[in-house]
Every structure is written in C-alpha cells, then in structure tokens.
Amino acid sequence: MTPAIETRGLTKRYGRARGIIDVDLVVEAGQIFGFLGPNGAGKSTTIRLLLDLIRPTSGEASVLGMDVHRDRLAIDRRVGYVPGELSLYGELTGHQLLAYLANLQGRVDADYRDRLIERLELDPTRRIKSLSRGNKQKVGLVAAFMIRPDLLILDEPTAGLDPFVQLEFEHLCEEARDEGRTVFISSHQLPEVEHLCDRVGIIREGRLLAVELIADLKGRALRRLEIHFAGPVNADVFAGLPGVRDLVVRDGTLRCTVMGSIDALIKTAARFEVHDIHSIETSLEEIFMAYYGSGGGTEPDAVREASHAAA
C-alpha cells in the first residue's frame, strides 16, 4: 500500500535559523501518527513542506503517492489541513467560511458537515473574529474533516479545545482511521496524543530522531515519584530497583525518577506504611532529554543505544 506520507532526505534551511535536516519519514496509510517534538523543532516546517507552502532546500516528499509540488492540486483534493497558527477570514461567519472553502473544494457532503458542526458544538452563525481560540479551532477542524480527506494533517490541533471537544475530536480521528484514512497530528505534548496515536515520530532540532510505536514509548516514560512514609525508611531497600534513578530518601520521604514500570517500586514501598504518593509524569521535553540527549546533532547510533538501554 502506498504510504500516506513519504519523505526522503527532506531538508529545509533558513539562513541561520534552523529548518529541518535530512528527514526520512514514512507514515503508513490507515493510522494515527503523532509527530512529536518541542516547540521550534521543525514540525510546522515539515508540514508546510508537505503542503507545498514552502519548498525544500533538498530532498523530496510525496503525499498519497504523489509529488508534493507537481501534484499539489490533486493532493489538496484529498488532504484536510489545520495549520498550527490557525488564521481564518474573521469577517465571515462560520457558515460563510465553510461555504467558501466547500466551493473551493468543489463538492462537500453538507449533511456530514452539519453533523460535524453539531458534534463539535460550533455556533456557525457567529463571525469568526468574535470567536474564542477554541471555537476558531473548531471551525478549522470542521473545514478539514468535512471534505472526508484521505489524509488529515493537523498541526497542534487541540490547542484551546475544552475537554469535551477534545474527546469528540479524538473520536473523529479514530473514526477516520477506522475508515482507512490517515491522521497526522503534530504536538509538543505527549499526554495530549499518547492515547490517540498508533505510532509517533520524534523530531528535535530539525532532525527526525526516531519513529516508534506509542506502546514502546510509553513504556519508557519517565515519572517523578514522591512517597511519604509514616516513619524513616532505609534508602538501600530502594536503591537497586529496576528503573529507579536520582533516589533521595530523607526523613521518611522518598524522591526518585522512574524509567518505565513503577511496579517494583510500588511493591517495595508497600512493605512500609505509606501516607501519600505523588506521581508526576514528565513532559515530552524531559523524555527527549533523557533518551535523546540534550546536545544538538544527536547521532543515530546514540539514539539506538539509548532506545536499547531503555528497553
């Protein structure tokens, strides 16, 4: 089957500012793919290259098996896109904007569009400039989903959405996948997409570091734990446990970082009287730091080693 997205050596240099370097990315059709990386890592640059809004310095990219530049119109008929910095014609109402975009698209199933409006609880009679960020985002989502695209490219799509709408958005993505369509979501927050994505690509400082199954990545999530015991405990009991790092025990309070499963630590802690447990899942940035180093230009070998060590 033709991959939904395929890039080979895709590079975009901007003078001194970093673009993306030598990105080889394959996104198979029929999955929800998370494109993860800190702000400024090159997510939007990659996406805008895929949409032919900017042109690569070198390398090539294809979407749905077609060249992103040569076949742009054919691609755009089958791709729905929500930009990261979503900006819509503020003077139009939601209805008017969707009508305009539907006209540009050619044909849109009006019933489906209305169902989307209902499900996302969008008020389409209001002018877009009077809408909150989250409501604007809904208009963008309806515009992207209403054309029933084979590929959805969503750049940080959940920004500003309230939890209910976020949930509905996730249902929409899952429905799209179940119909064999592909969803490509960029995010800088792992928790936002981890339960949604089948697979994630991690980009940092313009380089694609790894593409992994979400299950593997989650297994390696870092967690900061703080356990308050009834009385003093001996640090040595916890020191050798698998995955436990940065252990500090003082006055009956244990602090540490756990890589992967926290099972062993919890079972050990259960031997003592526990008053309280705090668990903080670390941000994606911290996982990047832990697994992919903090310096720029991480070598692929180092990445593999890190993955191996963590597995």
Partner 1 sequence: MLLRNVFAKQVRDLRWPTFWVSLGCGAMTAYFAILFPSYSKLFDLNSMLEKMGPAAKLLGASMGDASTLIGFLHIELFSMILPAGMAAFAAGVASGFTAGEESRGTIDVLLSYPISRQRVVLEKWLAICLACVVAAVVLWVFAIGGAAISASALPGDRLAAALVMLVLIGLAFGAISLAISTATGNRGAAIGVTIALLVVMYLVDALSAVVDGLATIRPFSLFRYYMGDDPLRNGLNLGDAAVLAGVTVIFLVIAVMAFDRRDLAA
Interface residues toward partner 1, by CB under 8 A? 44, 48, 51-55, 72-74, 76-77, 79-81, 83, 85-89, 91-92, 96, 99-101, 103-106, 140, 143
d(CA 255, CA 225): 6
Nearer to partner 1, 51 or 221 (CB): 51
Q: What are the C-alpha distances in Å from 261 to residues 69, 215, 222, 278?
A: 45, 12, 9, 16
d(CA 185, CA 79): 13
Residue 287 C-beta: closest distance to partner 1, Å: 27
Nearer to partner 1, 54 or 303 (CB): 54
Ramachandran angles phi, psi of 201, nearest 5°: -110, 140
d(CA 187, CA 158): 9
d(CA 104, CA 29): 25
Residue 100 C-beta: closest distance to partner 1, Å: 4
In the sheet that holds 207-213, the strands lie side by side as 79-82, 151-155, 182-187, 32-36, 199-204, 207-213
Residue 200 C-beta: closest distance to partner 1, Å: 23
Query: Helix or strand or coil: residue 166?
Result: helix
Nearer to partner 1, 20 or 247 (CB): 20
Residue 47 C-beta: closest distance to partner 1, Å: 10
Residue 58 C-beta: closest distance to partner 1, Å: 14
Nearer to partner 1, 100 or 272 (CB): 100
Nearer to partner 1, 99 or 211 (CB): 99
